[in-house]
Each structure stands twice: as structure tokens, then as C-alpha cells.
Structure 1
Amino acid sequence: MSVQPHAHPVLTCREAQTLEGELLVDEAAEWLAMRRAGEGIARQVLEDYLEIRPVPEHLRVLALVGKGHNGGDALLACAQLLADYPRAKVDLVLATRVEELRSLTARALEQLKGRVQVHFISEQSDVVLLTQMLLKFGGDAGFHICLDGLLGMSFKPPLREPVAALIAAVNAFERIDLRASVDLPSGAGDEVREGARRFDADFTYATGVVKRPLLGGIADCGRIRYVDLGFFDTTAGKAVVTEEVVLTDAVLDPVRRLRAAAADKRTYGHLFIVGGSAFMAGALLMTVKAAIRSGVGLVTAFAPASVASSFAAQVPEAIWIPWPENFHGMLNPRAMSLLLSRIHHASALVVGPGMGLGRSTELITQHIVKRVDLPILLDADALSVRGMEVVQKRRSDYARIVVTPHMGEFMRIGKLSAPNNSLEAMLGFSQVYNVVTVLKGANTRISDGETVMYSTLGGAVLSRGGSGDMLSGLIGGMMAQGDVPVPLAVARGVTLHGLAAQRLARDKGQVAVNTTQILDYLPEVLRA
């Protein structure tokens, strides 16, 4: 995929170094990029801190500074934090002598002169001495934020002392609320083995380019934030072609525009949703609620007959069709005519939320895949090995199928013996079954068989029942509107879901919230 405003390339550290060398042609360009990086990191780390508690006026910051540009970015982030919070206290730990700093890093340090406390580590520093230093600087309260700017993408293993000791001491120091790395956690890189020591980041702020080591797994890298420095702006950027891209919220820009004056409900599509069972009806209800908020014109829900009337009272905006249940409280496959007799009204389908695992669900899913030529999203209980065999044989002139598994479901339908979220696994699965795959996780992966799009949005607030059901409703609503290819509609749904979840966490925290509260933040995302 070539560069688009909503999808920027993911590169190896070596590729990113080459690109920066071509774009940052002189010191002025490098300094501008560093300033943008520092300001972006400071802005985002304050927003992310809100997931814990409001940012205190007397903010306490610990910054670990190496000699390279990552250290300079960390210093400029500290300068911005001091500008935003004049009562903040910043302690800098320099891992090198001042005279060894790169020129722009030294320039950034000079701008902080008299406003921060600077501390140095020596070759003799060990974990015990460094821990004592942290206790002395941090006091009983410790630090609100720790910024890691020790090592960058040019790092080659192994970690050398005393930097290794400093990283070990900070990793073990409990009095830090939020640990953030600049660009890459120190100790990470293209050539680093899994399990090697590195800075344990809660967040990593990828500056300019998202580097591939961040997306190989989630160990030690924490949550990823992309700080766009304009490297891929369409007017001044660099043309890059890659199989992996990271999504930006620009994917939602068309949805944020004024709608046509002559539009009516039919303009924005009609989504059908088939789901629910007597023992898991709530999943269907959450999917329908999310679909209603997606911007789709009409939603028709096929619900278990025992709950359809009560759901209609809760969500009157949807059309509710009662579906007869079998002895086990699941949708009866013999009632397929309820759906097929109305299918000419639909523009997309969602199948699976709360249906329950079993032969009845398999039969309904298989019938729909065989006989309905519209875009279809299969989620939750509609994801089965037998169902995927039918998907694989789907007519080539039918619209694409979208599947939305978490890793456990992906292992089941992909017949994997161990978790695998690699590029090869994603592309291979999507090609074999000719589907758009949405692999849900800390970094959600979307693949159409040619490209993998990463969404780093959302976070741990989504680690609760029902978040996937609402994602299906949002994606289904985007698909039903039919104004873009299916993979792009999927990307819109994933991005909207993730951004709303972040706003919820920043407003209410990650813990004491309800899944459906995400819906209350959708308007804020679209009006931002």
C-alpha cells in the first residue's frame, strides 16, 4: 500500500533511519522534527496520564537522557511539560557526559538550564546505587511520569553498563505512575531477541515513523502512540510502499463532513443484524445499540422471539424481527425465510453476536454465506471451522466477508496450535479464505490479504465483555453505508471504536466503567 493520509507506513529501524536521512537534510530540519516530537510526546503523555487520574499541578517528572536525538526529544518534551505546568519538578538523569551529547541534544539541554535538576551516572554505578539515587530524587511520593530517552533505533545489542543497570533500577522502581519511551523502549530494535532486557514502558511514543519492533508483540513496549511529524504528508512527504501501515484518525474525516441536504435514511444504508440467544441476549443488544450510533440509515435486528419485544422497547430506533428459538434457546435454522424474504432491503449483514456455539448457529451462518451476496461480518459464535470452510467456497462475484476474531478464535478457525499475530499469518489467512480479517488485540490488525493495517487505539478499557459486540455494530454500520471499499469501512469502524474507548478512559478511568459507555463518546470523536 502506498502512503495515504489515513495510513502511514510501518518500517524497520534501518528503513526508518534511511528515510529520516533523506528527509532531514540539515540541522534546521532535524531541529524542527525534534521540536515537533517533543511537543507531541508532552501533549500525548498528559492525555494518557488522565487514564490514571487528573494531572497534578506539581507534576514530578523523571527523564532518562542519552546522547542521541531520542534524548533530545525527551528534553524538549520536558520543556513543554514545564511550559504547561510551571510548578512541575523535572529530574534529568544523563547517561553520558554533556560534552558527548549530539549537538541538538546539547541545545535542548541548554534550553532547560536552571529549570531542572541534572544528575549523572558513572561507570561504577550499579543497580543498588541507582535505586538509592531514585529514592533520593523521588522521595516518598516518587514520580508521576518517567520519560525514557536513553537509546534509539540505531541501538545494537547488547545493553552496556551502566545503562543496563539504570534500566534495571528504573524498571524495578515502584514509585512511578506512568513509564513512557521515546520512539522505542531503550534496548529494543531490529536485532534484539525476544526476552532481552529493555525499558518496561507503559506507552511508547513512536516519532515520525512507527517501527516494526513495536508491533511484533506487546511485551515491554506497552501501548503505542504515533506522533506524526509530517514525514508522509502528501505534498512534502516521501513516497513509500509497504505491506504494513498504521491507521491515523484521518480515516474518519469523510464521516466528519456535512451530509448532503437531500439525504434521507435510505441514503446511508440498511444493516441487518442476526444474533442473540435466550442465554446471551445482551450481546445482540449492544451490537444493535452501536450500529444505531454508526451513522447508518436503518437497522433491522433478528432477535430471539423471547426477548425481541423487550429489546424493541429499549432501542425503538431499530426494526425488531422475532426469530423462533429451538429447544436450547438458540435461533432455529428452520426460520431462515424470515431473513431471506427481506434480504433485498439490506446493504450489509452482521451475524454472530450472542448466538451461542452449536450446530444451529453453524447452519444459519452457512446458509447466509452461501445465499447472501452482500458484505457480511461474522463475529463471535458465527466463527467456526465449518463456517470458514463454506466461506472459502463462497462465490467470487459476492461481496467480501469480514471476520472479527480475538486470538483464541483466530487460533480455532485458523487451526493454529499457538498464538500467531505475525504479518505472514494475517496475510496468509486472509488470502486463503478471501476475507478481511480483524484480529482484535492490544494492537488490532486488519488484513485484506495484501496489506495489514494496525490500529493502536483503545487500550485496556476495552478488556471487558461486550466491547467486541459494539465493534461489530460500528463496523457493520460503516459497511452498510457502502460509500467505500469494505477494508476502508472496517478501518473506520475500528478507529471510531478505539478513539471513543480512549476518551472514556481519560474521562472515567480504565476500571469502574461500563462497556456501553463507549457509545457516549462517539460524538466527541467525530466532532473533534
Structure 2
Amino acid sequence: MNIPSFAHPVLSCADAKQYESKLMTDDAAEWAAMQKAGAGISRCIMRDYQELRPLPDHMRILALVGKGHNGGDALLACGELLAHFPRARVDLILTASPDDLKPLCARALKGLEGRVKRHRFEVESVEQGHDLLDSISEGRGFHICLDGLLGMDFRPPLRSPLDVLIQAVNDYDAIDLRAAVDLPSGAGDEASELKFEADFSYATGIAKKPLFEGIANCGRVRYLDLGFYNHPEAEALDGAEYVLTPRILKPLNKLRPASVDKRKFGHLFIVGGSAYMPGALLMSVQAAVRSGVGLVTAFAPESVAAALSAQVPEAMWVPWPETSNGTLNPRAIPLLMDRISMASAVLVGPGLGHDRNTELLAQDMATKVELPVVFDADGLRSRVVEIAQKRKSSYGKIVVTPHMGEFMRIAKITEPDYDPETLLSFSRIYNVITLLKGANTRICDGETILYNTTGGPVLSRGGSGDLLSGLIAGMIAQNNSDEMTAVARGAMLHGLAAQRLARARGQIMVNTTQLLDYLPDVLRSLDVNSRTRGLGLS
């Protein structure tokens, strides 16, 4: 199959091992990959830690080192961190003697001689493990704990002393950031019930399927592109799941032609808001204006349209008659349809309110608008996806943007379900593109799932979804012939801006709309041309 230039396959551990065996034909190739992985992991840690606070010069690092390549990656990452922070202290807990390490892991350890302290974990209980960790850190805990114990070859059960070590570290609360190399120890195609509880998992070279099971089973995922998919062997890979890379933003990272005008970049219509919930519409319009779309027209409740227009004068505002509930009156749909020839995409739902009138309005939009239509928030109705089934093939796609609770309702399932086949089946049956929001956002057209791993807990606040829908719809308006790519591009941009916000101001004491101020920096600083450094971590 043709692998998208902006996404890389997600493989099972077994398939990843088989594929790597075709690339790593000698020790030199394996060592080069390990060096790239170590450097990438260290860069990730230095960026991700900033969501807590600036990295201290006297950083305390704990590395859990197994005898295989994951242990070697962890050791090389420690070496890179020491190069940036020479006053840092690195303590290693080895689960095997140096003589039992695999050759490349032993080589990585030798490179740290004289710069780290080594410890053997030979305790028999979690309590003794905590005492050892207190002793190693002199009671001060650790800024970073790096898990390089087990790799993708792991098969349950988790044996002693590894089970005691992992449980002791999981329960030890004096660790700021817990990072796993490739996969958390205990995870794999067959997982142990006990796993290293990672805040971040740094997928080195290949993103493995266990990273995407559940909502955040392995913490936040960072995919490190090591160039594995530049190889001709990649053409033989098959599958439906892919992880996005920042190269999807490449078309936005170029100079625009001198001769174009605003109409070249599309015209987005946004229908939403209510008398008691105007803010959601306002945020979607603000994000859409920032998306690069040429024109934005917002259809807002007549009681708030003037006030909203004063806050975003770049958009055109059309007052819409209201019902007695302060929601948009569905009888006024000619206001939109009389102008629809000017639009290239439509967004329906932000702040719309949830009553029978808005339900009828959403249904009308799905039935009458031939353009791509994004349904978000209160626009997400079961009847809308049923109508999508019957849309003509010449019509633009309907895009739905649920979180899991909303997905359960429109998909008519009774419990959270992250099985890829469930999402593929839903999107295929209803003929929609689904953006399923979560720790790893899934974008699906019924044939392919694209995972967007950017973003983070800073987005767990009201209004984040409104900004996302505005960005996505703005991207579609600019490129309404490839809605799937446009949706993924908006999601990636949103997530990378969120990461920049969190690193600058933390995850907690921020305003949702501050994210908008970090959008320009994403495009202006991201190296989307590099095949080995485009880590999606800007």
C-alpha cells in the first residue's frame, strides 16, 4: 500500500520486530538507531518536563536499565541529558550484572563510566524498594525516572525482582516525570496486569499498537521518527492504523503566492451559539479566523450577534432569529441557504444548545447542504449520522467530532470502546469522517485511522473543543476536496499549540483561548522537511 507522506504505520509488536529485523542487518545499523533514539528521548524529556517547571541544573535522574536495547536507549538518553546538564546526577538501577548485558547495552553503559552511579535492585518487597529509592535520592526524590527495563519482546508473567521494582517505582510519589522507552515495561501484544505507569511513552522508530489501547494506557505517546519508513521494505507494510507526523503541516509552512486573494483560501460558514451560550461560538470563530481561511461568516443569535461581532470584526456576522428558548430558529434556514453558494464548508454546533429546534436545524443542515459539514458539540445528533448514510456521493463529507461520551450516544453503544474496528465500522457504515477526541485523538474515514498524539491535559477544559472545531472547519474550507487530511491537519495544529502553551505556562492556570497565541509559533519553528527530526514536539 502507499504510505501517506505525513503518517507512519502503527504495528503490533510482532510485526514491528519482524520489520526491524529487515532494517537492522548488523550491529552498526542497530547502534546508529539506538543513538538516534537516545538523542530523541532526551529532547522529548527536556521539552515535556517544562509542563511542570523549568528543568533544574542539578537534575536528579533515575534510570531503570534492563539488559536489552531498551536499556541501551535509556543509557544513551542519560548521556545526552548529562551533556546538556553536566551538574545533573544520574543513578542507574541495573537488573542484570554488566557481564549479562547485551553487547550494545554494555557499550552504552561503558560510555557513562565515571559519570553515573550504579545500583543493583536486590530487595524483596515494595517497602524495601522505597527505602532503596530514598537512600539513592538522599530523601529528595527524582525529577525524572526513565524506564528501559523491558522491550517489545516481553511476554507475561512479570517475574521477580522486576515486579517488585516496577511496583515500588509506581508507588513512589517523589518522582516528577515518569518516561518509558518505546513501551512501558509490562506492556506488549500480551500485557501484564502490572506495568510501569508512564507519564510519557517515547515510541522509538515504530509506534506499537499497545500504546493506543484504551484512553491513556501508556501515558502520553511521543512518536520518534528514526527514518525507519524511508526504507523500500516499508512498501510491503499493510494495515489501517497510522500515527501522524508534523509533516502534515508542510503545505501551511510555505510562502503563499503573490497573486492570490482571500477567496483562494476558502469561505467558512459557522452556525451556532445561543442566547445563554454565546462563548462557544465566539471561540470557534476566533480559531477559524486564525486557521488561514480567507473568509468566515458566522450565523449567531440575533440577541448576541452585535456583541460578538465587536470581538471578532474579521468575521462577517449574520443575526439569526431565535426561539423562545434563545436558540436558533430552524425556520430561518433560508438565511444560510440563500448564501450557501459563497461557502466552501460549514461548521454546525458550537454553543447551539440542545432542544428540539436545534435538532431540526442540524438535520436540515445534513440534508440540504451539499458542501462538507462539520458537526460538533450540540450539533452531534444520532439523526445527523443517519442522514449522512444517505448523502449523495457527489456531496462533501460529513465530519463528526465526538468525545467518547458523545460517540457512545451517536454510535449506539453502551460502554466506552476504543477497539479500532468499532471506529472503522461506525465511520464506514454511516459514511462519515469521525474525529474521536481523547488522549490519543483518532481520525477515521472508515478505511484508515490516523492517531494524533499531540495535545495533553492542558486541553481538559471548557472551550478546547470549540477551538478545535474552528481550526478543523477552517482547514476543510481551504481544502474541501480532501476532508480527511484537512481534519488531521487541524487536529495536529491544535495539539502542537497546546503543547507550547503548557510548556510556557503549565497545564493548570491558563485560559483556553491562550492556545490561539501559540499557533503561529508552531508553523514558524517546526522543521517539517527533516525525515529524522520531525518529532511532532514543537
Distance 2:124 2:107 in 1: 26
Q: Tell me if the contact between 1:350 and 1:378 (Cα under 8 Å) persists in the aligned partners.
A: yes
- Residue of structure 1 equivalent to 2:189: 190
Match in the other structure for 1:248: 245
Which whole-Å CA distance do the structure 2 matches of 1:339 and 1:487 have between them?
25
Deviation at 1:202, TM superposition (A): 0.5
1:504 Cα shift?
0.3
Find out whether 1:31 has 2:31 as its counterpart. Answer: yes
Aligned partner (choices 506, 519, 522) of residue 509 of structure 1: 506
For residue 406 of structure 2, what is the aligned residue in structure 1? 409
- Measure how far apart 1:406 and its partner are: 0.5
2:267–2:478 contact (8 Å) kept in structure 1? yes
Instruction: Provide the residue aligned with 1:64 in structure 2.
Output: 64
Q: Deviations over 1:52-93 (max 9, x none)?
A: 000000011000000000000000000000000000000000
1:297-356 superposed Cα distances (whole Å, 9 cap, x missing partner): 000000000111111111000000000101000000111110000000000000011001
Output the amino acid matched with 2:475.
Answer: M
> In 2 relative to 1, CA 496–70 (structure 1 residues): closer, same or farther, beyond 3 Å?
same
8 Å CA contact 1:148–1:182 kept in 2: the answer is: yes
Selected match of 1:306 from 285, 303, 306: 303
The match for 1:51 is 51
Residue 199 in structure 1 maps to residue 189 in structure 2: no
Shift of 1:385: 1.5
* Residue aligned with 1:189, SS: coil
The answer to whether structure 1 residue 291 and structure 2 residue 288 are counterparts is yes
Are 1:443 and 2:436 an aligned pair?
no
Specify the alignment match of 2:219 in structure 1.
222
1:183 to partner: Cα distance: 0.4
Q: In structure 1, give the amino acid aligned to 2:91.
A: D
Match of 2:449 in 1: 452
Distance, in Å, in 2 between the alignment partners of 1:242 and 1:395 is: 28
Query: What are structure 1's unaligned runs of at least 5 residues?
Result: none
| 1:151 partner amino acid | L
Q: Distance in 2 between matches of 1:306 and 1:94?
A: 67
Answer whether contact 2:61 2:143 (CA < 8 A) is retained.
yes
C-alpha contact 2:362 2:379 (8 A) present in aligned 1: yes
Q: Is the 8 A contact 1:252 1:496 kept in 2?
A: yes
Identity %: 60
Residues 44-443 of structure 1: matches in 2 within 5 Å? Answer: 44-122=44-122, 125-192=124-191, 196-233=193-230, 239-443=236-440
Is the 8 Å Cα contact of residues 34 and 73 (structure 2) preserved in structure 1? yes
Q: CA deviation at 1:238?
A: 5.5
Q: How does 1:7-22 map to 2 (within 5 A)?
A: 7-22=7-22
**Any conservation in 1 of the 2:349–2:378 contact (CA below 8 Å)?**
yes
Q: Displacement of 1:242 after TM fit? A: 1.5
Deviation at 1:220, TM superposition (A): 4.5
Give the structure 1 partner of residue 5 of structure 2.
5
Q: CA RMSD in A?
A: 1.2
Report the alpha carbon displacement of residue 518 of structure 1 after superposing the two structures with TM: 0.6
1:232-291: CA deviation from partner (whole Å, max 9, x where unpaired): 126785642220000001000111111111110000000000000011110000000000
C-alpha contact 1:333 1:363 (8 A) present in aligned 2? yes
Distance apart, 1:373 and its partner CA: 0.7
Distance 1:475 1:377, change over 3 A: same
8 Å CA contact retained: 1:218, 1:442? yes
Residue 525 in 1 paired to residue 522 in 2?
A: yes
Equivalent residue for 2:469, pick from 464, 467, 472: 472
Give the drift of 1:389. 2.0
Aligned residue for 2:251, secondary structure, equals: helix
Counterpart CA distance in 1 for 2:256 and 2:242 is 29
Instruction: Tell me the SS of whatever aligns to 2:45.
Output: helix
The C-alpha deviation readout for 1:452-497, integer Å capped at 9, x for no partner, is 0000110000000100011000000000012651100001000000
Q: Residue 507 and residue 235 in structure 1: after superposition, are their counterparts in 2 closer, same or farther (change >3 A)?
A: farther
User: Does structure 2 conserve the Cα–Cα contact (< 8 Å) formed by 1:183 and 1:205?
Assistant: yes
Q: Secondary structure at the match of 1:50?
A: helix
Partners of 2:151 and 2:182 within 8 A in 1: yes
Listed as ranges, the gaps of 5+ residues in structure 2 are: 526-538
Report the AA paired with residue 138 of structure 2: G
Partner SS for 2:228: coil
TM-score (norm 1): 0.98
Normalised TM-score (structure 2):
0.96
Distance 1:158 1:270 in 2: 57
Alignment correspondent of 1:40: 40
Q: 1:192 Cα shift?
A: 1.7
- Does the Cα contact within 8 Å between 1:436 and 1:448 map onto a contact in 2? yes
Cα distance in 2 between the residues matched to 1:245 and 1:374: 27
| Equivalent position amino acid for 2:342 in 1 | H
Give the letter for the 2:78 counterpart: C
Moved more, 210-219 or 73-82: 210-219
